[in-house]
Amino acid sequence: MSNTEESSDRPVDEQNKSHAGHLRSNSYDRAVSGEHSKINDSIVENPSPKCDKKLSEIKQIDNDIYIIKWIEFNHERVPILLQNVNGPCPLLAIANILLLRQRIRLNPNAGAISTEHVIAMIAEYILQIDTTKLSADDRANYEQNVADALSILPKLQTGLNINLKFNGVDKFEYTRECIVFDLLGIQLFHGWVIDPQNNELQKIVNTNGSSYNQLVEKMIRQKQSNNEELARESLLIEQFLDENRSQLTHYGILQLHETMRDNQLAVFFRNNHFSTIWKNNKQLLLLVSDEGFANHTSIVFETLTDIDNDSSFTDGYGQKWQKPVPVDVSRDHDLAIAIHNEERSQHHEASIQQQQQQQQQQHYHPQQQRYAEEYYCEQSSGKYKKKHRRRSHDEDRDSSCILS
């Protein structure tokens, strides 16, 4: 993947849209997308004093600690951050994408990092966008967007105000918080999409808006209506929300496959939780960021295949993880004892045979003893026949076999 593709997962046409209440010019979009910026080639290892000053002006940051896990990803050794409790934490998902892209880097010997340091590195990455090509008005607008993003960064620890829409996996109601994803070039996805074949529900949703908040308000408003049609619409909405509590539909998974590019990293929103999603070789993979897997270096992703959570673990290359076969220590111990006893018995028998041979050899003349091993007798037609055995390497090679 090229640097441009890697730094901006949001489609160009989506980046160039104007959102109500958030003015963005075309030149600003080009600056963010990388056409006139240096952010594509920027790598942040330590926050600068400028960034520390900016952070000191915003609200207090909870100094939590994230465990660092080093993994193999796309033939590189890279770190990811783990969380010790279940929670929304979009900060974790965003930071892990930047780490996997190697846009922010950690000390190779690091084992943990504070929330404050993570936020400082993300802020530094945002501040590295080159605005020299922007007009004065666009630069002022950009600086305001950066200020908004920096004030939002601490909120990423606990969650974001996200209102998804049911008509597309990349459809969300635009809010102030979305500017963080735009500035970082990270796309946000979900999988709670209504199947177009459900014509009746589609019509209900599209009549009064397609967002989650609008649908819930419509359900509550029409639930006690005397109008039979309105009451029925409320019932259908309630059934849809109840049957899809996982906030994932079969059609949503199909749309994710169609919408995401191969090797694309993005943030996936589901059940008020933000995770890192990666599409690799037609697979949808969710980054395993639970601290309980800190010591399982070969477990990196979890497949997203259906709405029933029938998933499997993979490594950092998307290859299915195989559970190691447990070793039966007691069985190995018993086998070792049996082999040892058998070897000792064989050694004992060999010793006895050797002693018997030595006793027999003492009855021979020294010269006879020399040739005792070379001849044997067999009786044939009432006569004894002596047959020479094959001589060893150390004996006279010119000697011929003697038959008598």
List pLDDT tens digits, range 129-171.
777 888 888 888 888 889 999 999 988 888 788 899 999 999 9
Residue type, 53: K
Domain of 163, in residue numbers: 59-192+247-314
63 within domain boundaries: yes
Indicate the pTM of the whole model: 0.69
**Could you tell me the CA-to-CA distances from 180 to 33, 39, 211 in Å, in that order?**
13, 14, 21
**Quick one: pLDDT at residue 58?**
52
Q: Which residue has the higher pLDDT, 13 or 155?
A: 155
119 within domain boundaries: yes
23 within domain boundaries: no
Centroid of chain to Cα 94: 14
Q: Which residue has the higher pLDDT, 44 or 92?
A: 92
CA 85 to CA 390: how far, in whole Å? Answer: 79
51 part of the active site: no
Q: Which of 51, 89, 178, 190 is catalytic?
A: 89
**Quick one: pLDDT at residue 20?**
38
Per-residue DSSP letter, 399: P
Q: Which of 19, 36, 273, 388 is catalytic?
A: 273
Buried b (16+ CB within 10 A) or exposed e, 264-278: bbbbbbbeeebbbbb
Task: For 363-385, write each residue's pLDDT tens digit.
Answer: 555 555 555 455 444 444 444 44
356 within domain boundaries: no
Query: Of all helices (H) and strands (E), which one includes residue 120?
Result: helix 115-127
CA 362 to CA 192: how far, in whole Å? Answer: 96
Which of 177, 363, 188 has its CA nearest to residue 273? Answer: 188
Query: Of all helices (H) and strands (E), which one includes residue 140?
Result: helix 136-152
CA 95 to CA 265: how far, in whole Å? Answer: 12
Least confident of 8-12, 145-149, 202-206, 331-335: 8-12
Task: For 48-99, write each residue's pLDDT tens digit.
Answer: 665 655 555 555 566 688 999 999 998 899 999 998 766 668 999 999 999 9
Q: State the average pLDDT over residues 21-40.
A: 41
Widest CA span of the chain, in angstroms? 127
**Quick one: pLDDT at residue 37?**
44
Buried b (16+ CB within 10 A) or exposed e, 231-245: eebbebbeebeeebe
**Could you tell me the CA-to-CA distances from 62 to 56, 190, 361 in Å, in that order?**
13, 28, 92
- Structural domain count, the chain: 1
273 part of the active site: yes
Task: For 252-299, write each residue's pLDDT tens digit.
Answer: 999 999 999 999 999 999 988 999 999 999 999 999 999 888 888 889
